[in-house]
Amino acid sequence: MSLTPFSKHQLLPQEETLEILKKKGELFIGIPKETSFQESRVCLTPDAVSALVSNGHRVLLEAGAGEGANFSDKNYSDAGAEVTNDVEKVYSCPMILKVEPPTLEQIKLINPQTILISALQLKTQNKKYFEALASKRITAIAFEFIRDEDGAYPAVRSLSEIAGTATVLIASELLSNVNNGNGLLMGNISGVPPLEVVIIGAGTVGEFAARSAIGLGANVKVFDNSISKLRRIQNHLGRPVYTSTLQPKNLTKALKRCDVAIVR
């Protein structure tokens, strides 16, 4: 009597058809021109486009998208991007890179199941905005919430570093005679007292503003209600800096005497 309902042939190892992982296709990235007020940034530089194109990907750029950042259409076309005046064609790409979040009108131009990478500013959007994204099954990635392996937010930190450094440079420009300022320099002039710079907020912006002001020779005072942030900025700057919590008496006195006030 057989102990198994299977034949000898059926008990032998059989060939099996396995699913083969499909090779990943090329990316087709659309970069529309920013239309928000005073927004001059662009998601990809010509060098970044060149790196993508050299790895087999396609980039479609709306004409004039890089002008605010001083990148011409020719810079991008030389890097391998396709440049077009057709806005709808750019938004029809399967992947969209954008600095400011797209408006509801722009979302209408996006195809279903598109991948959108942008600063979505989630806290400022209403329910209707998310419904518009969901109705087209758009995979929206807010790059301000992307974390690295250390748990930090690299995009937000980079922008904060730029903002802090640029703030001091803008203040120096406003103080110059060219802009009808006092004609004062931050410091580092023998025999001339340095300027007083007050920074309210000891985050990343405040840290890099302090770093830039100190580098120009100014006296810096940092105010924040977080003792841990004040301690961290001291450690990162590597030198003693006047720090204080937001005590009204000390803050008022410092603001009355300062030449530059930076609030973050």
Q: What residue spans define the domains of the chain?
A: 28-145, 154-263
Fold of 154-263: Rossmann fold (3.40.50)
Least confident range from 26-35, 156-165, 176-185: namely 176-185
Which tens digits make up the pLDDT trace of 4-22? 666 777 667 766 666 555 5
Domains 28-145 and 154-263 equal at CATH topology level:
yes
Domain 28-145 of CATH type 3.65.10.10: no
Of the two residues 60 and 153, the one the predictor is more confident about is: 60
Q: Is the pLDDT of residue 256 over 80?
A: yes
Mean pLDDT on 118-124: 88
Closest CA to 211 of 173, 169, 247: 169
